[in-house]
Amino acid sequence: MFIPDGIIALTTDFQADSFYVAEMKVAAHMISREAKLVDVTHSIAPQNIAQASWVLLRAVEAFPPGTVHVVVVDPGVGTARKIVAAVAHGQVIIAPHNGLLDVVAARYQVEDVFEISNQVYFGERWSSTFHGRDIMAPVAAHLVRGVPLESLGDRLDVPLITQEKAASILASFEGNEIHGQFVYVDSFGNGVTNIFARDIPEDWNPQSIHIEVAGHVISGLVSTYGEREPGALVALFGSSGQLEISIAQGDAAQKYGIRPGMPVKIGCDFM
């Protein structure tokens, strides 16, 4: 169930100094002066849907129930692709139906999905290349004001993601090993994976775990970067709960060529 609490969270690939961000905020503000606009990030790599989908998962886990997320990474803007409003984890996500919702849908039950088609809730301006300003931000502002989701358009009965696709997004347990991959690189050069702390069996000793990545083997998990000397390659579960491969006081992605899609394998040496 979704009950708006006034927050509109913005995630885009516009980049931080783009005037497009301000235009979206103004479009929402003109409809809902009481809305609290929060920037998740505007530094998604241009048109990088996969990166945005993982950042969105982290945002959904960080924000309170009642938040409306507006996610604009939209290579197909102006085409026949749908714009949807999906309810998950007590929040609404407004986004193009282009894969941005796949990771959230793989992790959480999507309670409802509506196609956004009712032009009553669109903005006053209109263009075929800026639906973030003209459709998504205005619709988010109307939701903050209490407009029911059912008013936005038809309910979609087809699941956002198939079980097979969901399985391919998450890490898998094969034999005595966990197989995953890097999903994005953060601003510090840490490689973030699709392996979560809860994927690790309870009987695995963190010090007996070994991680194979980029032709290297890391022995044991650490809790903080400071547990290793500067320049050491380390593995730890970061603040998102996802396994990160890092260099203490360094850039792991640059040194080891870490990029999304590269495999990561975890095993455990039982004594």
Residue 259 covered by a domain: yes
**Is 83 in the same domain as 135?**
yes
Kindly state whether residue 1 falls inside one of the protein's structural domains. no
| Residues constituting the chain | 271
Residue 91, domain member (yes or no): yes
Which pair of structure tokens corresponds to residue 266? 């975890």
pLDDT in tens, 101-144: 999 999 999 999 999 999 999 998 888 899 999 999 999 999 99
Using alpha carbons only, give the angle 163, 53, 265 rounded to the nearest 5 degrees.
70
Which residues does 128 contact at the CB level (< 8 Å), separation at least 6?
77, 78
Q: Is 95 within the bounds of a domain?
A: yes
144 and 19 in one domain? yes
> pTM score, two decimals?
0.91
Find the CATH number of the domain harbouring 25: 3.40.50.10790
pLDDT score recorded for residue 225: 80
Domain limits at 201? Answer: 171-268
Of 164, 193, 212, which residue constitutes the final position of a domain?
A: 164
pLDDT in tens, 175-228: 889 999 999 998 899 999 999 999 999 889 988 999 999 888 999 998 888 788
According to the model, what pLDDT value does residue 223 have?
87
Domain containing 216 — which CATH number? Answer: 2.40.30.90
pLDDT in tens, 17-48: 899 999 999 999 999 999 999 999 999 999 99
